[in-house]
Amino acid sequence: MKKLFALFLAFCLAVGCGVCRAEEEETVIVASFYPVYILAKNVLQDVPGVRLACMAAPSTGCLHDYQLLTSDMRALSSAAALLINGAGMEGFLPMIREQLPDLPIVDCGAGVALLEEEDHHSDEDGHGEEGNPHIWLSPVNAIQMVQNMADGLSVLLPDAAGIIQQNAADYEARLSALDAELAAAIAALPGRDIVTFHEAFPYFAARYGLNVAAVVAIEPEEPLSPRMLTDVIERVRAAGNPPLFAEAQYDSAALRIISQETGAPLYALNALTSGPDALTAYEDGMRENLAALTEALGNERP
């Protein structure tokens, strides 16, 4: 009888609220770009009344040259919070702070020890002077990002703090297992040197004892000049022609030329800046990377 009454009550409430009001009461949390979105998707899983949105289109890649769109500002103006990678990846942050001073911003990268960028260049590329912003590519950093995110969201959504912290703990355990799996597998590989398209992998390399022998593009969005290409080819040769890694998000033409010129084999790594809208996308992408590294570094080359 109690059950029936509860059902009846639930029915009345549902009819009384109506669909429109339910939409109005939805809390929107915006992630700046794909890797932050995937972490947040896990942290906010099953939190009632919350919708997670990804600001930059999944095809954006890194946010190095990202220009805010009018639609971004509109989405942010009705959001309850913006989750950022931090570490200088969101070069547009000052503009958001100026135009939406009341929007809570959760800096997921807070407290992560930053690596210096190999080649320092001007501010205008969006990197800023804070260091290398590709922090999410070390699972250990990703764990810290998840915890920062959970702590920030727990304050903003106190009613959901319990489920948010439990989600974070569960996800951190999965990421920790992933880290152990990567560490053991990569430690067993004979090769150490890799050449990557842009400077996305230093945190990954540092975590697993790999050496980024050269980086092809300093400005990933800009075509390489013939002079830069010649320089990279020389550096690859000097490093003994280690395997080259393209990134799906960027044109691999320069890498194909370097591969032809040096004989260095060409593979691909996933910087996890785009991918499926799936809870396990980070782990799946990292396991893809492990497979590519195993193929590239698994055999001593002649």
Residue nearest to Zn ion (CB): 62
The C-alpha atoms of residue 166 and residue 164 are separated, in whole angstroms, by 5
Cβ-based nearer residue to Zn ion, 203 or 208 = 203
In the complex, what is the shortest distance from the CB of residue 133 to Zn ion, in angstroms, rounded to a whole number? 7
In the complex, what is the shortest distance from the CB of residue 199 to Zn ion, in angstroms, rounded to a whole number? 7
In the complex, what is the shortest distance from the CB of residue 132 to Zn ion, in angstroms, rounded to a whole number? 9
In the complex, what is the shortest distance from the CB of residue 205 to Zn ion, in angstroms, rounded to a whole number? 14
Query: Cβ–Cβ contacts within 10 Å for residue 257, how many?
Result: 15
- Edge to edge, the sheet with strand 50-54 lists 50-54, 27-31, 81-84, 105-107
Cβ-based nearer residue to Zn ion, 87 or 200 = 200
Cβ-based nearer residue to Zn ion, 63 or 150 = 63
Contacts (CB under 5 A) with Zn ion, residues 183-202 = 200
Residue 245, token pair as written in the block: 């890694």
Closest CA to 162 of 154, 173, 152: 154
* Per-position x/- string for 199-218, each x denoting binding to Zn ion as judged by CB under 5 A, each - no binding: -x------------------
Cβ-based nearer residue to Zn ion, 144 or 273 = 273
The C-alpha atoms of residue 109 and residue 101 are separated, in whole angstroms, by 20
Mode of pairing for the β-strands spanning 266-269 and 244-247? parallel
Give yes or no for a contact between 200 and 137, defined as CB atoms under 8 angstroms apart: yes
The C-alpha atoms of residue 254 and residue 228 are separated, in whole angstroms, by 10
In the complex, what is the shortest distance from the CB of residue 127 to Zn ion, in angstroms, rounded to a whole number? 8
For residue 62, state whether it binds Zn ion (rule: CB under 5 A): yes
Cβ-based nearer residue to Zn ion, 59 or 70 = 59
Residues that bind Zn ion (CB under 5 A): 62, 200
